[in-house]
Amino acid sequence: MAPDITLRNIEQVPPPVGHYSHTATAGGLVFISGQLPVAADGTPRCEAPFEEQAQLVLQNIESCLACAGVTKQHLVSVRVYITDINLWPLFNSIYAAWIGQHRPSRAVAGVAQLHYGAALEIEAVALSE
């Protein structure tokens, strides 16, 4: 018997470039693949200022949540990869404004580089409905 796993891609954006799905739902959880600052038409926006990249990545996370039928209030864990850890305070303020009073667990890790030269990437886990 095949496991009960639902794989989804956001319909309004191009499919993932690699061999993965935007979201995978299993065991009552929604796993969101790492999201980069890529516009809805598939164009990487990695030359944009950090604030714009962060907003775009968070929009992509929110689109993935909607694709799975949940909201950011369902998030239980968020992992952030950032190429300049000195931008952590700026990211934290952007993230806090985006998520509001909800405070899921979170990790922020400094990394050497990300695909397309992005400044950040975010992956997350949420409760499914």
For the chain, list the domains and their CATH numbers: 6-127 (3.30.1330.40)
The pTM of this model reads: 0.94
Rounded Cα distance between 60 and 43, Å, is: 13
pLDDT tens track for 14-38: 788 889 999 999 999 999 999 999 9
Query: pLDDT (tens digit, 9 = 90+) per residue, 39-70?
Result: 988 899 999 999 999 999 999 999 999 999 99
